[in-house]
Amino acid sequence: MSEPLLDVRHVDKSFGGLRAIADVSLSVHQGEIVALIGPNGAGKTTLFATVAGFLKPDAGAIGFFGHDILGSTPDRICALGLVRTFQIVQPFAGLTVRQNIAVGAHLRHAGRREALELADSVGRRLGMAALLDRPAIGLTVAARKRLELARALATEPRLLLLDEVMAGLNPTEIDEIVAMIRAIRDEGVTVLLIEHVMQAVMSLAERIYVLNNGALIAEGTPAAIAANSAVVDAYLGHGAAGKLQAKQVRHA
Amino acid sequence: MMPSLRLSGQRALWAMAGVAIIGVVLPLLLRSDFWLNFAIMVLFFTVLGQAWNILGGYGGQFSFGHAAFFGTGAYVTAVLQVKFGINPWLGFVLAGIGGGLVGAAIGFLSFRYGLRGSYFALVTLAFAEVLRILANAAAFTGGGVGTLIPLKQTAANFQFVDKTGFYFVIFALMLIGLLLAYWLENSRFGARLMAIRENEDAARALGVNAFAIKLGAISLSGALAGLAGAFYAQYFLYLDPRLAYGPGISVEALLVPIIGGMGTIFGPLLGATVLHVVGEIARKVMGDAVGLNLALYGMVLVAMVLFLPNGIAGLARRQRLKPKEERL
Amino acid sequence: MLEFSILLPALLNGLTIGAVYALVALGLTLIYGVLHIINFAHGSMLMLALYGVFFLHALFGIDPYVSLLIVPPALFVLGYALQRGVIGRASHGKDENILLVTLGLAIVMDNLALYFWKADTRTIDTPYGFDTVDLGIATIAVPKAVAFVAALLICCALWLLMARTDLCKAIRALAKERQGAQLVGINVPHLFAMSFGIGAACVGAAACLLLPSFYVAPDVGQVFVLIAFTVVVLGGMGSFAGALIGGMIIGVTESIGGLFLGESLGQLGIFVIFIAVLLFRPTGLLGHRA
Ligand SMILES: Nc1ncnc2c1ncn2[C@@H]1O[C@H](COP(=O)(O)OP(=O)(O)O)[C@@H](O)[C@H]1O
Ligand SMILES: [Mg+2]
């Protein structure tokens, strides 16, 4: 097997006395869609923030695309091709949708015109054509989530870290965004996503990591994770295992 | 398919051309010294306000101490001239560089250590005060007594018998300010600066080196304020620590774009005009009593923040941009 | 070699003025701790209070210490009204807007004072103005000794008040958990204004203690506002004990600095401390906030 695109090794991160991430190791390979799941407060977002350079881990190593990115800054990591979205969406409220996306596009395009054009095409691809000239502050939750995705995508990344981009969406919107994520991957962008919407996780992810209380407790294919009833029952609630298996059968 | 931003950019260019034409013609119409002086002061405060606008309006970093840059520019010109006989036109350029360097130094310290919001505002104020105290104590600035620039009215000496000369200098500087703002609205640097204003973390996640961009903005802002300071020194030929580094300049620098509209190209011009027209009317109505004018400015500031946080320009923009959406 | 006999009075002097700084800063830190706003008009409120004390003395012959019964309540009312009527409505979701509004208020107060009362520096004469007490190791002016003791007493009283009374428990709950407080039916705007009012009253008390050994002029607030900020950032925004210790440190710094460097450069020390603390330890010496 080739060297992984993202290689997280034995990462530790504490907030005061709270050990938010405890000795976590995971890897994502080029072209994969990998999911990171676990109950609220498990440390998923913290792990993303650490990988993306927003938090400094207490210990461990993080490799991305052959570079050691531990201790690097978010902008440099982003320039290498690793971009994160925020669970709590962070739009540039006073700018239009197009201007929002163009900020991402500027990473690889210095010219204003090229950046705006790229922003345009990314926005259209994600179904935001009608919103491009709206100020971001007036968007619905679904549109804001999409804007997060669009901005990240406009940086033309190798690896996309998506933090609960489906939370708060209705089933139709979820189906749409699942299709988009799949299309994004098919164009060569690797995806690591945090998600609570199990149906989406099961249909999208090729591998799943399960995080609980800061530690990884399982890793495997969706089928294996779903079959791991101990994991599912303990960390996704009693009876969840049965439900997941039923879904898995339908999708197979 | 071309975005509307281009359109408004085009409109801004036309507006600038209009301003340029009016500005060139204006001195022919302004027959009295009083009105010429009035126009010069409006333009001067436009430049100062534009300097603040670059950092505060576009970058969201509110400075309470723009006098630090302004005063440095003023003293660079004055001291080089008086003590070293350096031509004030060269001094003018050096003043811009000096203001930019002070901006870079203050920015480096503040942004390196992550100062934001109110803390940044306070630390800039403190830096200006430090400079004021130093200028008060140092010998080469003339200390508290101040510095007089000797009268020698030749254009080569950056002194004009006819005020029209000063008018065109400050008018050119104002145009440069407009072009700078236009550039911010249509460049990667400006896009990144505005992204930082709106949400610094999100900008960083998208590959923006927030520290470098803010440093660039404060240097640019400082340079323009420094040039304004040099102009001030040449126009009034007198400086003291309070005029140069005191809170008065810092307050007017922020008041002007806040009234006109922060983060807009023409906001400072609009703000400076409104402020000085109101100020002049107040002077006519209430007499030239000390304090009244500034008290009025203070009330305007309070009223603007309370009722028109986007400035006068925001009135028009709100109607254009947000037909249905409610403010959050 | 500097004589101990020169250093000691400077130290004592620094401590007495430090106690008054602490009192002013206490008001600022209280307002910050509860409302999370930085009140730029704090110094100007002190200036108004000083004029209040001055005119009560000049027009009605009321002793500054008797004014302790009048001026702090008046400042309380002023603070309450300003917060309720102006400052509380200004934020539009941005802290900077509050800073701007309080800056605007400061400009209005300072310049109206300049307009009405001119730039003159005014002092008052009291029978005890030039009395001194002998502490054995040094002598100290009576008004300063009174200011020192009274400022400390008021600080302690306020501290106890905050710890004990129901009102202040509610205020402290509010400081911790704003939305929760709203949910359990606490009248948030009222309590915010109460906090602001109490903070303003501190300034009123400081004015009464200050004037017998100090002066008043329209720009006196500008001097104090930066000092008060320095004290507060040094002690840690929102920390009572920090304000007390910070006040003492700044008072002594100013006094000793003035001794070595002269009056105007002595002030430099304050700003250098201010900048250094903001840059390197923005939580202050005793602050909790990250
Ligand atoms: N900046 C922070 N300071 C202190 N604790 C934090 C911080 N960020 C997250 N935590 C804590 O770390 C734990 C993990 O949080 P998070 O990564 O957001 O979980 P998840 O995304 O899995 O829901 C939680 O207990 C949370 O309260
Ligand atoms: Mg999370």
Task: Report d(CA B261, CA B271) in Å as an integer.
Answer: 7
For residues C34-56, b (16+ Cβ closer than 10 Å) or e, as one string? bbbbbbbbbbbbbbbbbbbbbbb
- Residue B195 near residue B60, CB atoms below 8 Å: no
Cβ contact B133–C280 (<8 Å): no
Q: Residue B247 has what pLDDT?
A: 87
Task: Report d(CA C44, CA C47) in Å as an integer.
Answer: 5
Backbone angles phi, psi at A96, to 5 degrees: -75, 170
Is ligand 1 within 6 A of the CB of residue A93?
Answer: no
- Of C110, C114, C278, which is closest to B123 when you measure between CB atoms? C278
Backbone angles phi, psi at A84, to 5 degrees: -115, 155
Cβ contact B207–A132 (<8 Å): no
Cβ contact C271–B130 (<8 Å): yes
Q: Which of C41, C104, C97, C219 shows the shortest CA–CA distance to B298? A: C104
Contacts of B271 in chain C (CB under 8 A): none
Q: At A55, which helix (H) or strand (E)?
A: none
Atom 12, ligand 1: residue with shortest CA distance: A20
Cβ-Cβ pairs closer than 8 A, A with B, add up to 107
SS3 A213: coil
Number of H helices, E strands in chain B: 14, 2
Is ligand 1 within 6 A of the CB of residue A104?
Answer: no
Across A224-228, B142-146, C111-115, which has the greatest mean pLDDT? Answer: C111-115
**Looking at B230-234, B264-268, C17-21, which range is the least confident one?**
C17-21
Q: In this structure, what token pair is assigned to residue C193?
A: 């204004």
Q: Residue B321 has what pLDDT?
A: 47
Q: Residue C260 has what pLDDT?
A: 81
- Residue C147 near residue C210, CB atoms below 8 Å: yes
Task: Report d(CA A116, CA A109) in Å as an integer.
Answer: 9
Q: Residue C286 has what pLDDT?
A: 58
Q: Which of A91, B305, B111, B327 shows the shortest CA–CA distance to C95? A: B305
Task: Report d(CA B154, CA C74) in Å as an integer.
Answer: 58
Between the CA of C219 and the centroid of ligand 2 the distance, in Å, is 51
pLDDT, tens only, A100-154? 999 999 999 999 999 999 999 999 999 999 999 999 998 999 999 999 999 999 9
DSSP conformational letter for B54: I
User: Do the domain assignments include residue C287?
Assistant: no
Task: Report d(CA B125, CA B111) in Å as an integer.
Answer: 15
Pairing mode of beta strands A190-194, C132-134: unpaired
Pairing mode of beta strands B147-148, A215-220: unpaired
C-alpha distances in Å from residue B124, one per residue of B75, B109, C160? 18, 10, 36
Average pLDDT over residues C161-175: 71
Question: With 50 as the cut, is the pLDDT of residue C254 above it?
Answer: yes
Q: Which of A94, C111, C193 shows the shortest CA–CA distance to B300? A: C111
Q: Residue B1 has what pLDDT?
A: 34
Q: Which residues contact B320 (CB under 8 A, 6 or more apart)?
A: none
SS3 A249: helix
Q: At B322, is the pLDDT very low, low, confident or very high (cuts 50, 70, 90)?
A: very low
Cβ contact B302–C108 (<8 Å): yes
Q: Which of C108, C103, C112, C110 shows the shortest CA–CA distance to C41? A: C103
Q: In this structure, what token pair is assigned to residue C121?
A: 């520096």
- Residue C285 near residue C246, CB atoms below 8 Å: yes
- Residue of chain B minimizing CA distance to A93: B198
- Residue of chain B minimizing CA distance to C223: B129
Task: Report d(CA A29, CA A5) in Å as an integer.
Answer: 5
Average pLDDT over residues C41-49: 95
Contacts of A138 in chain B (CB under 8 A): 322, 324-326
Question: Which atom of ligand 1 approaches the CA of A16 most closely?
Answer: 4
Question: With 90 as the cut, is the pLDDT of residue A189 above it?
Answer: yes
- Residue B216 near residue B230, CB atoms below 8 Å: no
Task: Report d(CA A106, CA A102) in Å as an integer.
Answer: 6
Q: Residue B48 has what pLDDT?
A: 98
SS3 A194: strand
Q: H helices within B138-287, ranges in order?
A: 163-185, 188-198, 200-205, 210-236, 241-245, 247-260, 267-286
Question: Which atom of ligand 1 approaches the CA of A46 most closely?
Answer: 17
- Residue B45 near residue B256, CB atoms below 8 Å: yes
- Of C108, C109, C114, which is closest to B290 when you measure between CB atoms? C114
- Residue A241 near residue A232, CB atoms below 8 Å: yes
Question: Which atom of ligand 1 approaches the CA of A164 most closely?
Answer: 21
Cβ contact C114–B291 (<8 Å): yes
Q: Residue C178 has what pLDDT?
A: 66
Contacts of B309 in chain C (CB under 8 A): 92, 97
Question: With 80 as the cut, is the pLDDT of residue C284 above it?
Answer: no
Mean of the per-residue pLDDT values for chain C?
84
C-alpha distances in Å from residue B26, one per residue of B99, B234, C107? 30, 22, 33
Q: Mind spelling out the 3-state secondary structure of B233-263? A: HHHHCEECHHHHHCHHHHHHHHHHHHHHCCC
- Residue C202 near residue C23, CB atoms below 8 Å: yes
- Stronger pLDDT, C102 or C283, i.e. the higher one: C102
Task: Report d(CA C171, CA B213) in Å as an integer.
Answer: 40
Contacts of C105 in chain B (CB under 8 A): 298, 302
SS3 A41: coil
Chain B window 180-219: which residues touch A at a Cβ cutoff of 8 Å? 186-188, 191-192, 194-195, 197-199, 201-210
- Output the CA angle B8-B12-B18, nearest 5 degrees: 145
User: Do the domain assignments include residue C288?
Assistant: no
Q: At A33, is the pLDDT very low, low, confident or very high (cuts 50, 70, 90)?
A: very high
The domain in which residue C94 lies consists of: 11-280
Q: Which of C243, C248, C253 shows the shortest CA–CA distance to C203? A: C243
- Residue of chain C minimizing CA distance to B293: C111
pLDDT, tens only, B49-84? 999 999 999 999 999 999 999 999 999 999 999 999
Q: Residue C222 has what pLDDT?
A: 83
Is ligand 1 within 6 A of the CB of residue A41?
Answer: yes
Residue with tokens 């903001």, as numbered in its chain: C278
Average pLDDT over residues A221-245: 69
Task: Report d(CA C242, CA C228) in Å as an integer.
Answer: 12
Q: Which of B316, B138, B107 shows the shortest CA–CA distance to B218? A: B107
Task: Report d(CA C81, CA B289) in Å as an integer.
Answer: 28
Q: Mind spelling out the 3-state secondary structure of C248-282? A: HHHHHHHHHHHHHHCHHHHHHHHHHHHHHHHHHCC
Residues forming beta bridges with residue A208, ordered by sequence position:
A35, A220
Task: Report d(CA C33, CA C15) in Å as an integer.
Answer: 25
Ligand nearest to the CA of A42: 1
C-alpha distances in Å from residue A165, one per residue of A53, A141, A168, A202, C271? 20, 10, 8, 15, 47
Is ligand 1 within 6 A of the CB of residue A56?
Answer: no
Atom 8, ligand 1: residue with shortest CA distance: A46
SS3 B80: helix
User: Do the domain assignments include residue C5?
Assistant: no
Contacts of C93 in chain B (CB under 8 A): 328
- Cross-sheet strand order for the sheet of A6-15: A18-28, A6-15, A59-64, A67-68
Separation in Å, CA of C24 to nearest CA in chain B: 18
Between the CA of A232 and the centroid of ligand 1 the distance, in Å, is 22
Between the CA of A20 and the centroid of ligand 1 the distance, in Å, is 6
- Residue of chain C minimizing CA distance to B287: C115
- ipTM score here? 0.90
Separation in Å, CA of B205 to nearest CA in chain A: 6
- Residue of chain A minimizing CA distance to B195: A92
Is ligand 1 within 6 A of the CB of residue A212?
Answer: no
Question: With 90 as the cut, is the pLDDT of residue B148 above it?
Answer: no
- Of A54, A78, A120, which is closest to B206 when you measure between CB atoms? A78
Task: Report d(CA C82, CA C194) in Å as an integer.
Answer: 11
Which CATH class for the B9-327 domain?
mainly alpha
Q: In this structure, what token pair is assigned to residue A139?
A: 């968007």
Which residues of chain B are at the C interface, by a Cβ-Cβ cutoff of 8 Å? 62, 64, 109-110, 113, 115, 117-119, 121-123, 125-127, 129-130, 133-134, 136-137, 247, 251, 254, 258, 289-295, 297-302, 305-306, 309, 328
Average pLDDT over residues B199-228: 97
Q: Which of A120, A93, A96 shows the shortest CA–CA distance to A109? A: A120
Separation in Å, CA of C237 to nearest CA in chain B: 11
User: Do the domain assignments include residue C1?
Assistant: no
Is ligand 1 within 6 A of the CB of residue A45?
Answer: yes
Q: In this structure, what token pair is assigned to residue A199?
A: 């149906």
Q: Residue C195 has what pLDDT?
A: 87
Residue with tokens 């019964």, as numbered in its chain: C69
Cβ contact C271–B129 (<8 Å): yes
Q: Residue C289 has what pLDDT?
A: 43
Residue with tokens 């950032």, as numbered in its chain: C233
Q: H helices within B85-185, ranges in order?
A: 88-112, 117-137, 163-185
**CB burial of residue B280 (10 Å; 0-12, 13-18, 19+):** middle
Is ligand 1 within 6 A of the CB of residue A15?
Answer: yes
Q: Residue A243 has what pLDDT?
A: 60
SS3 A4: coil
Backbone angles phi, psi at C128, to 5 degrees: -100, 5
C-alpha distances in Å from residue B220, one per residue of B59, B102, B186? 12, 11, 16
Q: At B328, is the pLDDT very low, low, confident or very high (cuts 50, 70, 90)?
A: very low
Residue with tokens 């005890």, as numbered in its chain: C128
Ligand nearest to the CA of A39: 1
Pairing mode of beta strands A59-64, A6-15: antiparallel
Q: At B214, is the pLDDT very low, low, confident or very high (cuts 50, 70, 90)?
A: very high
Reported in sequence order, the residue ranges of chain C that DSSP labels E, i.e. its strands, are 132-134, 139-141
Question: Which atom of ligand 1 approaches the CA of A48 most closely?
Answer: 17
The domain limits of chain B are: 9-327
A146 close contact with B: CB closer than 8 A: no
Q: In this structure, what token pair is assigned to residue B28?
A: 């022919």
DSSP conformational letter for C136: S
Q: Which of A85, A31, A24, A32 shows the shortest CA–CA distance to A54? A: A85
Q: At C161, is the pLDDT very low, low, confident or very high (cuts 50, 70, 90)?
A: confident
Atom 18, ligand 1: residue with shortest CA distance: A45
Backbone angles phi, psi at A59, to 5 degrees: -155, 165
Q: In this structure, what token pair is assigned to residue C267?
A: 């002030």
A121 close contact with B: CB closer than 8 A: no
pLDDT, tens only, C55-90? 999 999 899 999 999 999 999 999 999 999 999 888
What amino acid occupies position A43?
Answer: G
SS3 C210: helix
Q: In this structure, what token pair is assigned to residue B171?
A: 């008018």
- Residue of chain B minimizing CA distance to C86: B306
Cβ contact C96–B251 (<8 Å): no
- Output the CA angle C41-C43-C47, nearest 5 degrees: 110
Question: With 90 as the cut, is the pLDDT of residue B124 above it?
Answer: yes
Domain CATH for C154: 1.10.3470
Structural domain count, chain C: 1
- State the chains in contact with C (3 or more Cβ–Cβ pairs under 8 Å): B
